[in-house]
Amino acid sequence: MSNETGPWALSSELEARKQKHLYRKRRLLQSPQGTQVLLDNKPYLAFCSNDYLGLANHPDVVAAFQRAANECGVGGGASHLVNGHHQQHHALEEELAEFTGRDRVLLFSNGYMANIGAVNALLGKGDLVLEDRLNHASLLDAGLLSGARFQRYQHANPTSLQQYLSKPGYDDKRKLVVTDGVFSMDGDIPPLPELAQSCKEKNAWLMVDDAHGFGTLGENGGGCVEHFNLGQNDVQVLMGTLGKAFGTSGAFVAGSELLIETLIQKARTYIYTTAMPPAIAAATRVSLKLLQKENWRREHLAELIKRFRHGADQLGYELMDSASPIQPLVIGSEEKALKLTAWLENKGVLITAIRPPTVPKGTARLRVTFSADHTLEQVDTLLELLDQARPK
Ligand SMILES: *Cc1c(COP(=O)(O)O)cnc(C)c1O
């Protein structure tokens, strides 16, 4: 008997995915990240990276990485709590604390681990975790893993949240409300001041994952908390990632002294893992400076977004309520979305289709994203192709 029968019939499971147009494939990137990439030996104009400010391959960031690698080597070598907490990590934490206006910051290896670690250090059995139903997978997983009572509220809806916050039996328990700062597949921003107010009334804490807001939102790129002017008494747990607008790799949690000390003691994804390479921290310190200082990057992004939204709307495409560099075009069925991306790829434009379960059924979409490195002419090229591709 084959060892892939019965409960181990992986091939029929994979075949079923293919039938439903849900099969995922990787392709080979043969160039640095950027607006023009080489993928599987073919050049593309790309609109699907999260490198929103164009820092992933910025010469100053690359040079800082090289310099630091010469000074501190490549590997992190050990956990932060053993002897892996390098002065480059420490300096980045201090600079991020100042940038976010929080007491302290703790670095994690990536955003997924930051979310799992923070939620699980704070909550356990008997507590309550409330999540926006469109939260990023890592936040949903974090809540489920914690063993706390798990409840989703209506997307970006403070009224729905209030109902669940009033759930009896949790008055003296920890209640944590968790939301994306900019929703990763829709690009919209939740009403954080209202959510924070509801939390205060019910003695709950608010955790915001601003993976897509840092660098793109706020006067100085301080993300949704700068945009809404919310301090650490409004958003007690603030999480950001370094692999998107920062253009490097890693993540951080920012908050009070007590929060950070608690995470150092209890966040298992912080304790039981090797520190990120210190040269990554050094490179991120340079990208943080660029992100704060070079306002033109955010201004140019705003222009690109405006031009695209105006053009796509005129062509009759369904846009989402988004002011961020995430500008999805909702197509509907998985099959149609895949057809459109394939057609665009044939014309040299790369935009990945996002399908369930990443987004709700019937809302498969082209997740168009912009980078400060795109030109207005490149947006026009995209619009011209979308014009040709649209059902007439
Ligand atoms: C990308 C992303 C993460 C994960 O961050 P990584 O550093 O890539 O692991 C977490 N939350 C949101 C909202 C994201 O978009």
Q: What's the whole-model pTM score?
A: 0.96
Domain boundary pick from 293, 318, 345: 293
Question: Ligand 1 mean position to 211 CA, how many Å?
Answer: 6
In terms of domains, do 73 and 198 share one?
yes
Question: Ligand 1 mean position to 241 CA, how many Å?
Answer: 6
Domain boundary pick from 223, 258, 293: 293
Check pLDDT > 90 for residue 21: no
Percent of the chain scored above 90 by pLDDT?
Answer: 93
Check pLDDT > 70 for residue 391: no
3-state secondary structure the chain: CCCCCHHHCHHHHHHHHHHCCCCCCCCCECCCCCCEEEECCEEEEECCCCCCCCCCCCHHHHHHHHHHHHHHCCCCCCCHHHHHCCHHHHHHHHHHHHHHCCCEEEEECCHHHHHHHHHHHHCCCCCEEEEECCCCHHHHHHHHHCCCEEEEECCCCHHHHHHHHCCCCCCCCCEEEEEECCCCCCCCCCCHHHHHHHHHHCCCEEEEECCCCECCCCCCCEHHHHHCCCCCCCCCEEEEECCCCCCCCCEEEEECHHHHHHHHHHCHHHHCCCCCCHHHHHHHHHHHHHHHHCHHHHHHHHHHHHHHHHHHHHCCCCECCCCCCEEEEEEECHHHHHHHHHHHHHCCEECCEECCCCCCCCCEEEEEECCCCCCHHHHHHHHHHHHHHCCC
* pLDDT band of 188, cuts 50, 70, 90: very high
Question: Ligand 1 mean position to 7 CA, how many Å?
Answer: 32
Nearest atom of ligand 1 to the alpha carbon of 183? 13
Structural domain includes residue 173: yes
Structural domain includes residue 13: no
pLDDT score recorded for residue 3:
72
pLDDT tens digits for range 198-250? 999 999 999 999 999 999 999 999 999 999 999 999 999 999 999 999 999 99
Check pLDDT > 70 for residue 295: yes
Question: Ligand 1 mean position to 154 CA, how many Å?
Answer: 21
Domain boundary pick from 244, 269, 293: 293
pLDDT score recorded for residue 338:
92
pLDDT score recorded for residue 118:
98
**Residue span of the structural domain in which 119 resides:** 59-293
In terms of domains, do 31 and 88 share one?
no
Average pLDDT over residues 359-368: 93
- Closest-CA residue, ligand 1 atom 10, reads 111
Question: For residue 26, what is the domain's CATH number?
Answer: 3.90.1150.10
Check pLDDT > 70 for residue 385: yes
Average pLDDT over residues 146-166: 97
pLDDT tens digits for range 48-72? 999 999 999 999 999 999 999 999 9
Structural domain count, the chain = 2
Structural domain includes residue 354: yes
Average pLDDT over residues 124-146: 97
pLDDT score recorded for residue 329:
95
pLDDT score recorded for residue 167:
86
- Closest-CA residue, ligand 1 atom 4, reads 111
Structural domain includes residue 190: yes
Percent of the chain scored above 70 by pLDDT?
Answer: 99
Which of 109, 119, 135, 136 to mutate for ligand 1's pocket (most ligand atoms within 8 Å of CB)?
136
Structural domain includes residue 35: yes
Structural domain includes residue 97: yes
